[in-house]
C-alpha cells in the first residue's frame, strides 16, 4: 500500500468516531416518562393583578387536545433565549402551550425564600411572572404556578427550560430538555403532531 | 431593511465565491486565460460584499434592532457601545460571519501581494480559498443565519453573556480567527502546489510569510485567551487543558512545526512532503477545532450554544476538505523528489526531530481531548484530567526545548557532534549549575523547578552565545553593537521567539513552584498575610454599573506595615440575565501578581459580614504572557527581514534564479 | 556498509523512542482518566476506593452547610434516589446553587463521605451538566420501574 495513504486512513477512523459522537449528543437523555400518562396535578393559574389564585388547572382539562407543557422561570437564562421562539410558535396557533412556572422565587438564589412568608412568596411569584410575560410577550394559553416545585418532581424536571408534548389521551410523547428550537420542533414535535392529526380527525 | 441588505450581500457573496472557487481552477486546468483572470475581481467583490454584510450586522447591534433574532439574543440596550460591537461575534452566527469575513480579507491580501507569483499559481490559491469560503457561506446561510428576523421585534434583548463583557474577549476571537483563517492560506498554497506538481523552494518561499503572519495571530490569540481566563474566571488558573483551549493549541503546535519546516524546504529543498502534510494538518486542525467547539460533541466549561445539526454539517465539510486534501496528497506525494540530502546530524535533522516531536505532542493532546468522545462512543463516561496533559506535554517538550539551544549552532547538511559539544558544554554546565543553585536561595527546592529553570537558562545562554559567534564572524572590524543590530531580521526573530519560550518557561516554573493560594473567610477588619503582603479586608459596598449591580470589596494591602495600595475585587450581578460574575482585582508586577477575588458571603443575609475570599500571590506569572508576546514579536521581526522581499522579487526577473538579483 | 549500519541504528533508536512515548502516554492516560459515577452507583459500591472519580447530580435543597472556618462546605448530591454527602474546601463556583446540577471530582473518604477537590458548575447556563442529568434520569427510570412493579403485585 502507498504509505502516503496512512494519514487519510487515520483521518477516516477519526471521522467515524466524530460521527458517532454527534449522535451521542450528551444533552439527549432518554426519559422514563415518555409513553406514560402525564402525572396529574392541580395548580393555581396565574391571573390578572389583584385576582386571587383560586382558578386551578389540571392536565385533564386538556384531554382531546395535543399541547405543549413548557417549564420556565424568570431567573432562568436559557428560558430567555427560548422565549422569542415560543412567542412566534404561539402566533402560528398550531399548538396550545401551557406555561409551567417552576419555583419562581425559591429557585432564584438571589432571594432567600425561607425569610419570606408563604403569602409574600405567592405575591412575589405572581408579580415576577406577570412582569416577565408583560415584557417579553405571553405565548401561553395559561400559566400554572408550581411555587414549591413539588409537581415538577413528578415530571422529572431537573432544569429549566423543559418542554413536554402531551397527546389527546394525556400521554407524554416528547420531553425536550433545554431551550426549544426550530430544529427540535421540526424534528421531534412536528412529526408526532402530524401523526396525531392524521390518525384522529 | 438593513439586515435584509446584509443577508442579500451574503447570498451574493456565496454566488461570487462559487465563481471564485470553480472558474479559475478550471481555467488553469484548461488553459483558459479569461477564466483565470476572473479570480482577482471575484476576490475583490467577495471581500467587499462580506465587509458590507458584516457592517449591516454591526449596525443592527449599534441600533439595538431586536427584531433580529441574533441581536436579541446577544445584546441589550443597556450594554455599553463597545460591547455591543463586540457582541457581533459574541455568538455562533456572528463568529462564523467573522470567520468568512476574515477569510475574504486574507484572500484579498493574497491577491494584492502576489503580483510576483506566476498567475496560474495565484489563481489556483485564490480558487481553493474560494472553495473554502463556499463551505463556510453555505454553512452560515443554511444553519446559522445571523440576519434571521422575528416580527414584531422584542422591546429588549437578552444581553451578552457577562463572561464576554470584557475588553480581553473583545479582541480574543478576532485574533484567534485571524490565526485559524490564516492557516487556510498556507493550506491553499500547499494544495495549489500539489495540483501543479511544483513542490519546490519557490512554493515554500511564497507561503512562508503568510504562514508566519497566521502563526503570530494565533500566538497572540491563545495568549489573550489564557490571560482572559486568568483574570476573568477568578480561579487564578491560566490554562485548563479544556477542549476549547486544546482546539486552538493543536493548530498552534502544528503551525509552529510548519514555519520551521517551511524554512528548511525553502533553503534546502528537503522534506517537502512533510511540509505539505503539516500545512494540511494546521488547517485541518483549525477546522477540527471549529467542529469540536461548535458541534457540542465535547462538553467544556466554555459552553457555547450547540446544535448537533450544525455538527453534522461541519463534519461533512471537514471530511470533504481534509479527505480530499489527503487523497490528493497520497496521489501526488510519491512523485515528489527528496530534495537536498543531509547527514544524520545536521541542522535539517535537528529541525526534523523537533518537527516530529511537535507533531507527536500535538497527537498526545488530540488523544487526551478526544478520548472522552471515543469512550462515550463505546458507552463509557469519563474525562481526562489536566495531570495527563501536564505530564505528557511536560515530558515531551523537554527534548524539544533542549534542541532549541542546539539547532542554531548546527550547520546545514552536516554538523560535527564533537564541535557542537565543545561549543555548548559551557552553557550547559552553567545552566544546570544555576538552575540547581538558584532555587536554593529561594523558598524551597524541587527537581521540577530546577529542570524548568535549567531549560530557560539553556535557551538564554545558547542564544547569547550564538549572537556573539555570529557578530564575531560578520564583524569585519566594525563596532560590536552596530554589527549586532545589522544582523538580519530572520536571525533576530528566531532568537527573540526562542527567548520568548525561555521567558514563558520561567513564568510557568516559578508560578507552579512558588505561588501561594489562600482561600479564607474574612470579615471587616480581618487581615491575612500572603507572600509577604498583608491584606486587610474593610468590607463590601454596593454600586451600580451601566448594566449590572456590583458588590465591591475593599482590601487594603500593606507591606511591612507600609501602605501599598487598595484593591477592589467585585461581585457583579447582571440586570438582564441575573447572572453573577466575579471580577478579580489584580496588582500586576514584573516579578509577581497579587490576585484577590470575592467568593461568596458566608451568610447570604448579611452582605456586610464575612466573605469567603481568594487571596493569591503569584510570582512571575506575567512572564507567561510576556513570553508569548516575545514569540509573536520574534515572528514579526523575522517577516520584516528584507531578504524575504528581495528574493521574492528575484522570482519575477529570473524564474529559475539561484542567485539573488538586485531588488527591483 | 557504514550507511546501512547507521540506518539500522536510526530505526532501532526511533522505535525505542516511539515505544517510550507510547508507554508514557498510556501510563499517564490510565492514571488520569476520571470515571463518572452517580450517587446510586456509589451506594452500590461501583465506585473505586482511593482513586479519584466524578460524581454528579443535583445539589439537594437545604443541604448546603458551612464549616466553622467558613471555607469548608458540606452539601448533598442526589440523583433523587440516593444521596451522597460531599465535603469541599474552597470557594464554590458562581453558578453553584441548591436544586441545580453539579459535578464534583474527588475521592471517597471515610464513612462514605465524598471529599471533593474540584466542584464544577457550568459557566453560562442554568443548566445541568449532562453527566449529572444522566444520573438523575436513570434514578427516575428505576423509580418508575419499581412503582410499576409494586402496582402489579397489588
Distance from CA of A82 to the nearest CA of B (A): 9
pLDDT average, residue stretch B147-160: 75
Please tell me the distance from the alpha carbon of residue A155 to that of residue A180, in angstroms, as a whole number: 17
CA distances to A8, A186, B36, B40, B618 from B118, in Å: 30, 51, 12, 14, 54
Percentage, residues of chain B above pLDDT 70: 92
Element (H, E) at B471: helix B447-474
Q: Output the pLDDT for position A26.
A: 46
Report the range of poorest mean pLDDT among A145-159, B114-128, B314-328, C111-125. Answer: C111-125
Q: Of B578, B615, B575, give the one whose Cα is nearest residue B595.
A: B615
Q: Of C143, C141, C142, C136, give the one whose Cα is nearest residue C38.
A: C136
Express each pLDDT in A65-85 by its tens digit.
889 999 998 877 667 778 888
**CB B455, CB B507: distance < 8 Å:** no
Taking the CA atoms of residue A181, residue A184, residue A186 and residue A189 in that order, the dihedral angle to the nearest 10 degrees is -120
Determine, for residues C141 and A77 on separate chains, whether the beta-carbon distance falls below 8 Å. no
Helix B167-196 to helix B92-113 angle (10° resolution) is: 50
Q: Output the pLDDT for position B599.
A: 85
* Peptide linkage before A110 cis (omega within 30 of 0): no
Cell numbers of B361, please? 505532542
pLDDT band at C97 (very low <50, low <70, confident <90, very high): confident
Burial B146-181 (b: 16+ CB within 10 A, else e): bbebbeebbebbbbbbbbbbbebbbebbbbbbbbbb
Q: Output the pLDDT for position B220.
A: 95
pLDDT average, residue stretch C123-141: 52
> Of B150, B323, B377, which has the smallest distance from its Cβ to A21's Cβ?
B377
Please tell me the distance from the alpha carbon of residue B596 to that of residue B618, in angstroms, as a whole number: 11
Q: Of B634, B515, B273, give the one whose Cα is nearest residue A4.
A: B273
CA distances to A152, B398, B488 from B1, in Å: 44, 58, 54
Please tell me the distance from the alpha carbon of residue C28 to that of residue C37, in angstroms, as a whole number: 21
Please tell me the distance from the alpha carbon of residue B207 to that of residue B121, in angstroms, as a whole number: 11
Q: Output the pLDDT for position A23.
A: 67
Determine, for residues A31 and C100 on separate chains, whether the beta-carbon distance falls below 8 Å. no
| Range picked from B32-46, B339-353, B382-396 for highest mean pLDDT | B32-46
pLDDT greater at residue B512 or residue C150? B512
Q: Output the pLDDT for position B179.
A: 93
Determine, for residues A158 and C133 on separate chains, whether the beta-carbon distance falls below 8 Å. yes
Tell me if B208 is assigned to some domain: yes
What radius of gyration do chain B's Cα atoms show?
Answer: 27
pLDDT average, residue stretch B48-63: 95
pLDDT band at B298 (very low <50, low <70, confident <90, very high): low
Cell numbers of B534, please? 498583608
Tell me if B118 is assigned to some domain: no
Tell me if B48 is assigned to some domain: no
pLDDT greater at residue B473 or residue C123? B473
Determine, for residues B73 and A81 on separate chains, whether the beta-carbon distance falls below 8 Å. yes
Express each pLDDT in B236-286 by its tens digit.
888 888 888 899 999 999 999 999 999 888 888 888 888 999 999 999 999
Query: Considering only CB atoms, which chain B residues are within 8 Å of C130?
Result: 299
pLDDT average, residue stretch B174-200: 90
**CB B610, CB B522: distance < 8 Å:** yes
Express each pLDDT in B370-395 by its tens digit.
888 777 777 677 788 888 999 999 99
Express each pLDDT in B616-634 by its tens digit.
999 999 999 999 999 999 9
Percentage, residues of chain B above pLDDT 90: 43
pLDDT greater at residue C3 or residue B584? B584
Determine, for residues B307 and A18 on separate chains, whether the beta-carbon distance falls below 8 Å. no
Q: Of B244, B242, B224, B238, give the one whose Cα is nearest residue B512.
A: B238
> Of B155, B323, B370, which has the smallest distance from its Cβ to A11's Cβ?
B323
pLDDT greater at residue B453 or residue B1? B453
Express each pLDDT in A155-196 by its tens digit.
877 667 888 989 888 888 888 877 787 777 877 788 777 776
Determine, for residues B383 and C34 on separate chains, whether the beta-carbon distance falls below 8 Å. yes
Q: Output the pLDDT for position C121.
A: 66
Chains that touch C (3 or more CB pairs under 8 A): A, B
Q: Which domain holds residue B382?
A: 173-406
Please tell me the distance from the alpha carbon of residue B317 to that of residue B286, in angstroms, as a whole number: 13
Chain A touched by C98 (CB under 8 Å): yes
Chain C touched by A158 (CB under 8 Å): yes
Determine, for residues A84 and B155 on separate chains, whether the beta-carbon distance falls below 8 Å. no
Single residue among B602, B620, B638 that ends a domain in this structure: B620
pLDDT average, residue stretch B462-479: 86
pLDDT band at C5 (very low <50, low <70, confident <90, very high): confident
Number of neighbours of residue B532 by Cβ within 10 angstroms: 10
Question: Nearest-5° angle of CA B599, CA B602, CA B606?
Answer: 110
pLDDT average, residue stretch B400-422: 86
Single residue among B406, B436, B470 that ends a domain in this structure: B406
Q: Which of A9, A20, A22 to probe the B interface (max B CBs under 10 A)? A: A22
pLDDT band at B108 (very low <50, low <70, confident <90, very high): very high
DSSP state of C91: P
Q: Of B618, B621, B602, B590, give the one whose Cα is nearest residue B537.
A: B602
Chain B touched by A5 (CB under 8 Å): yes
Query: Considering only CB atoms, which chain C residues are within 8 Å of A76?
Result: 126
Q: How many CB pairs under 8 A join B and C?
A: 92
CA distances to B356, B396, B494, B510, C13 from C17, in Å: 12, 11, 28, 30, 6
Query: Considering only CB atoms, which chain C residues are within 8 Å of B391?
Result: 24, 28, 32
Express each pLDDT in C25-58 by its tens digit.
999 888 888 888 888 888 888 888 888 888 888 7
Chain B touched by C114 (CB under 8 Å): no
The count of structural domains within chain B is 2
Query: Considering only CB atoms, which chain C residues are within 8 Å of B395?
Result: 24
Cell numbers of B303, please? 459552553
Taking the CA atoms of residue B307, residue B310, residue B311 and residue B317 in that order, the dihedral angle to the nearest 10 degrees is -170
pLDDT band at B656 (very low <50, low <70, confident <90, very high): very low
Q: Output the pLDDT for position C153.
A: 58
Tell me if B88 is assigned to some domain: no
Question: Nearest-5° angle of CA C96, CA C99, CA C101?
Answer: 60
Q: Kindly tell me if the per-residue pLDDT of C136 is higher than 70.
A: no
Q: Of B495, B480, B487, B511, give the one whose Cα is nearest residue B591.
A: B511
Tell me if B193 is assigned to some domain: yes
**CB B230, CB B593: distance < 8 Å:** no
Tell me if B197 is assigned to some domain: yes
DSSP state of C99: T
Q: Kindly tell me if the per-residue pLDDT of C79 is higher than 80.
A: no
Q: Output the pLDDT for position A35.
A: 77
Cell numbers of C63, please? 443541604
Please tell me the distance from the alpha carbon of residue C125 to that of residue B577, in angstroms, as a whole number: 10
Domain boundaries, chain A: 33-199
Q: Output the pLDDT for position B333.
A: 83
Residues 314-373 of B with CB under 8 A from C: 344, 360, 364, 367-368, 371
Q: Output the pLDDT for position C122.
A: 55
SS3 for C58?
strand
CA-CA-CA-CA torsion sign (A156, A157, A159, A162): positive
Determine, for residues B579 and C124 on separate chains, whether the beta-carbon distance falls below 8 Å. yes
Tell me if B651 is assigned to some domain: no
SS3 for C40?
helix
Tell me if B359 is assigned to some domain: yes
Please tell me the distance from the alpha carbon of residue B493 to that of residue B423, in angstroms, as a whole number: 22
Q: Kindly tell me if the per-residue pLDDT of C128 is higher than 50.
A: no
Please tell me the distance from the alpha carbon of residue B555 to that of residue B586, in angstroms, as a whole number: 11
Mean per-residue pLDDT of chain C? 77
SS3 for A19?
helix
Query: Considering only CB atoms, which chain C residues are within 8 Å of A157?
Result: none
Chain C residue with minimum CA distance to B521? C70
DSSP class per residue in A123-190: HHHHHHHHHHHHHH----SEEEEESSSHHHHHTT--SS-EEEEE-TTSBEEEEEESS--HHHIIIIIH
Q: Output the pLDDT for position B659.
A: 37
Express each pLDDT in B194-225 by its tens digit.
998 878 888 888 888 999 999 999 999 999 98
Determine, for residues A75 and C101 on separate chains, whether the beta-carbon distance falls below 8 Å. no
Tell me if the domain spanning A33-199 has CATH number 3.40.30.10: yes
Q: Kindly tell me if the per-residue pLDDT of B524 is higher than 60.
A: yes
Q: Output the pLDDT for position C130.
A: 52
Distance from CA of C150 to the nearest CA of B (A): 31
Which class for A110: exposed (0-12), middle (13-18), buried (19 or more C-beta within 10 A)? exposed
Q: Kindly tell me if the per-residue pLDDT of A9 is higher than 60.
A: yes
pLDDT band at B662 (very low <50, low <70, confident <90, very high): very low
Chain A touched by C144 (CB under 8 Å): yes
**CB A83, CB A163: distance < 8 Å:** no
Cell numbers of B621, please? 506569572
Q: Kindly tell me if the per-residue pLDDT of B501 is higher than 90.
A: yes
* Peptide linkage before C117 cis (omega within 30 of 0): no
Mean per-residue pLDDT of chain B? 86
Query: Considering only CB atoms, which chain C residues are within 8 Å of B161?
Result: 124
pLDDT band at C92 (very low <50, low <70, confident <90, very high): confident
pLDDT greater at residue B642 or residue A167? A167
Q: Output the pLDDT for position A200.
A: 47
Q: Output the pLDDT for position A172.
A: 87
pLDDT band at B299 (very low <50, low <70, confident <90, very high): low
Helix B119-143 to helix B167-196 angle (10° resolution) is: 130
Determine, for residues B154 and A108 on separate chains, whether the beta-carbon distance falls below 8 Å. no
Single residue among B357, B372, B406 that ends a domain in this structure: B406
Number of neighbours of residue A150 by Cβ within 10 angstroms: 11
Cell numbers of A44, please? 393555581
Please tell me the distance from the alpha carbon of residue A26 to that of residue B296, in angstroms, as a whole number: 8
Give me the helices (H) in B520-599, please. Answer: none
Strand partners, B477: none
Please tell me the distance from the alpha carbon of residue B32 to that of residue B46, in angstroms, as a whole number: 22
Chain C touched by A19 (CB under 8 Å): no
Please tell me the distance from the alpha carbon of residue B513 to that of residue B509, in angstroms, as a whole number: 6
Q: Output the pLDDT for position B649.
A: 45
Q: Output the pLDDT for position B504.
A: 96
Express each pLDDT in A26-59 by its tens digit.
444 445 667 778 888 889 998 877 777 778 899 8
Amino acid at each position: 500500500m502507498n504509505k502516503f495513504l496512512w494519514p487519510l486512513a487515520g483521518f477516516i477512523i477519526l471521522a467515524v468516531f466524530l460521527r458517532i459522537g454527534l449522535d451521542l449528543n450528551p444533552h439527549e437523555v432518554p426519559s422514563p416518562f415518555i409513553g406514560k400518562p402525564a402525572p396529574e396535578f392541580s395548580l393555581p393559574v396565574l391571573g390578572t393583578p389583584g385576582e386571587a389564585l383560586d382558578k386551578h388547572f389540571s392536565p385533564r382539562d386538556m384531554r382531546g387536545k395535543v399541547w405543549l407543557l413548557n417549564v420556565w422561570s424568570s431567573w432562568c437564562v436559557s428560558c430567555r433565549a427560548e422565549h422569542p421562539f415560543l412567542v412566534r410558535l404561539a402566533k402560528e396557533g398550531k399548538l396550545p402551550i401551557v406555561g409551567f412556572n417552576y419555583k419562581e422565587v425559591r429557585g432564584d438564589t438571589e432571594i432567600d425564600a425561607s425569610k419570606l412568608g408563604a403569602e409574600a412568596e405567592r405575591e412575589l411569584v405572581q408579580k415576577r411572572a406577570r412582569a416577565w410575560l408583560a415584557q417579553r410577550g405571553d405565548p401561553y394559553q395559561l400559566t400554572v404556578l408550581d411555587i414549591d416545585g413539588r409537581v415538577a418532581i413528578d415530571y422529572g424536571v431537573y432544569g429549566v427550560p423543559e418542554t413536554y408534548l402531551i397527546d389527546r389521551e394525556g400521554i407524554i410523547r416528547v420531553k425536550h430538555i433545554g431551550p426549544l428550537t426550530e430544529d427540535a420542533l421540526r424534528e421531534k414535535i412536528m412529526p408526532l403532531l402530524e401523526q396525531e392529526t392524521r390518525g384522529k380527525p | 431593511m438593513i439586515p435584509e441588505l446584509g443577508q442579500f450581500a451574503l447570498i451574493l457573496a456565496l454566488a461570487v465565491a462559487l465563481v471564485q472557487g470553480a472558474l479559475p481552477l478550471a481555467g488553469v486546468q484548461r488553459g483558459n486565460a479569461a477564466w483565470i483572470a476572473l479570480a482577482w475581481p471575484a476576490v475583490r467583490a467577495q471581500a467587499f460584499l462580506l465587509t458590507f454584510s458584516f457592517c449591516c450586522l454591526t449596525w443592527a447591534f449599534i441600533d439595538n434592532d431586536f427584531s433580529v433574532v441574533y441581536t436579541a439574543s446577544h445584546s441589550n440596550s443597556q450594554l455599553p457601545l463597545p460591547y455591543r460591537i463586540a457582541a457581533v461575534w459574541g455568538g455562533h452566527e456572528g463568529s462564523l460571519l467573522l470567520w468568512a469575513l476574515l477569510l475574504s480579507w486574507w484572500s484579498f491580501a493574497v491577491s494584492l501581494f502576489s503580483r510576483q507569483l506566476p498567475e496560474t499559481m495565484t489563481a489556483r490559491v485564490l480558487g481553493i480559498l474560494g472553495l473554502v469560503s463556499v463551505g463556510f457561506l453555505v454553512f452560515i446561510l443554511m444553519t446559522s443565519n445571523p440576519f434571521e428576523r422575528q416580527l414584531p421585534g422584542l422591546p429588549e434583548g437578552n444581553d451578552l453573556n457577562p463572561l464576554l463583557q470584557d475588553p480581553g474577549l473583545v479582541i480574543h476571537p478576532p485574533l484567534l480567527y485571524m490565526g485559524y483563517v490564516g492557516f487556510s492560506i498556507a493550506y491553499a498554497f500547499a494544495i495549489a502546489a500539489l495540483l501543479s506538481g511544483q513542490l519546490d523552494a519557490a512554493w515554500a518561499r511564497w507561503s512562508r510569510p503568510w504562514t508566519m503572519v497566521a502563526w503570530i495571530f494565533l500566538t497572540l490569540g491563545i495568549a489573550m485567551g489564557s490571560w482572559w481566563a486568568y483574570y476573568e474566571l477568578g480561579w487564578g488558573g491560566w490554562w485548563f487543558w479544556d477542549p476549547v483551549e486544546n482546539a486552538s493549541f493543536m493548530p498552534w503546535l502544528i503551525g509552529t512545526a510548519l514555519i520551521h519546516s517551511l524554512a528548511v524546504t525553502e533553503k534546502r529543498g528537503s522534506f517537502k512532503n512533510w511540509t505539505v502534510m503539516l500545512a494540511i494538518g494546521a488547517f485541518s486542525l483549525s477546522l477540527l477545532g471549529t467542529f469540536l467547539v461548535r458541534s457540542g460533541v465535547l462538553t467544556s466549561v466554555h459552553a457555547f450554544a450547540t446544535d448537533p445539526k450544525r455538527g453534522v454539517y461541519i463534519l461533512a465539510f471537514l471530511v470533504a476538505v481534509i479527505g480530499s486534501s489527503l487523497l490528493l496528497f497520497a496521489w501526488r506525494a510519491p512523485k515528489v523528489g527528496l530534495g537536498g540530502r543531509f547527514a544524520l546530524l545536521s541542522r535539517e535533522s535537528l529541525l526534523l526531530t523537533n518537527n516530529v516531536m511537535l507533531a507527536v505532542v500535538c497527537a498526545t493532546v488530540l488523544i487526551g481531548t478526544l478520548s472522552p468522545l471515543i469512550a462515550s462512543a463505546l458507552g463509557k463516561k469519563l474525562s481526562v484530567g489536566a495531570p495527563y496533559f501536564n505530564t505528557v506535554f511536560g515530558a515531551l517538550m523537554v527534548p524539544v526545548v533542549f534542541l532549541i539551544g542546539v539547532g542554531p549552532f548546527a550547520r546545514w547538511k552536516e554538523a560535527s557532534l564533537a564541535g557542537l559539544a565543545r561549543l555548548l558544554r559551557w552553557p550547559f554546565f552553567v545552566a544546570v549549575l544555576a538552575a540547581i543553585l538558584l532555587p536554593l536561595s529561594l523558598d524551597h527546592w524541587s527537581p521540577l523547578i530546577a529542570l524548568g529553570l535549567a531549560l530557560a537558562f539553556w535557551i538564554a545562554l545558547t542564544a547569547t552565545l550564538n549572537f556573539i559567534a555570529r557578530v564575531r564572524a560578520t564583524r569585519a572590524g566594525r563596532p560590536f553593537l552596530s554589527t549586532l543590530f545589522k544582523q538580519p531580521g530572520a536571525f533576530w526573530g528566531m532568537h527573540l521567539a526562542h527567548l520568548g519560550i525561555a521567558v514563558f518557561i520561567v513564568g510557568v516554573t516559578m508560578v507552579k513552584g512558588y505561588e501561594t493560594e489562600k482561600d479564607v473567610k474574612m470579615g471587616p477588619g480581618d487581615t491575612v498575610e500572603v507572600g509577604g503582603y498583608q491584606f486587610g479586608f474593610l468590607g463590601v459596598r454596593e454600586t451600580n454599573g451601566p448594566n449590572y449591580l456590583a458588590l465591591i470589596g475593599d482590601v487594603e494591602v500593606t507591606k511591612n506595615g507600609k501602605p501599598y495600595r487598595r484593591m477592589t475585587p467585585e461581585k457583579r450581578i447582571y440586570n438582564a440575565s441575573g447572572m453573577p460574575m466575579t471580577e478579580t482585582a489584580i496588582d500586576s508586577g514584573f516579578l509577581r501578581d497579587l490576585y484577590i477575588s470575592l467568593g461568596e458571603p458566608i451568610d447570604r443575609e448579611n452582605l456586610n459580614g464575612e466573605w469567603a475570599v481568594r487571596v493569591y500571590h503569584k510570582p512571575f506569572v506575567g512572564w507567561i504572557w510576556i513570553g508569548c508576546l516575545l514569540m509573536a514579536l520574534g515572528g514579526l521581526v523575522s517577516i520584516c527581514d528584507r531578504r524575504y522581499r528581495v528574493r521574492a522579487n528575484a522570482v519575477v526577473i529570473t524564474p529559475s534564479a539561484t542567485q539573488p538579483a538586485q531588488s527591483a | 556498509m557504514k550507511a546501512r549500519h547507521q540506518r539500522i541504528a536510526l530505526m532501532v533508536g526511533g522505535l525505542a523512542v516511539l515505544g517510550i512515548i507510547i508507554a508514557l502516554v498510556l501510563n499517564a492516560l490510565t492514571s488520569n482518566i476520571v470515571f463518572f459515577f452517580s450517587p446510586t452507583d456509589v451506594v452500590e459500591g461501583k465506585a473505586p476506593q482511593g482513586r479519584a472519580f466524578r460524581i454528579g447530580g443535583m445539589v439537594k435543597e437545604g443541604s448546603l452547610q458551612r464549616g466553622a472556618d467558613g471555607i469548608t462546605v458540606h452539601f448533598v448530591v442526589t440523583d433523587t434516589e440516593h444521596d451522597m454527602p460531599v465535603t469541599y474546601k474552597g470557594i464554590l463556583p458562581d453558578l453553584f446553587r441548591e436544586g441545580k446540577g453539579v459535578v464534583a471530582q474527588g475521592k471517597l473518604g471515610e464513612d462514605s463521605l465524598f471529599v471533593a477537590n474540584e466542584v464544577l458548575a457550568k459557566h453560562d447556563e442554568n443548566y445541568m451538566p449532562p453527566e449529572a442529568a444522566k444520573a438523575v434520569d436513570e434514578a427516575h427510570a428505576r423509580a418508575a420501574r419499581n412503582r410499576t412493579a409494586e402496582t402489579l403485585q397489588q
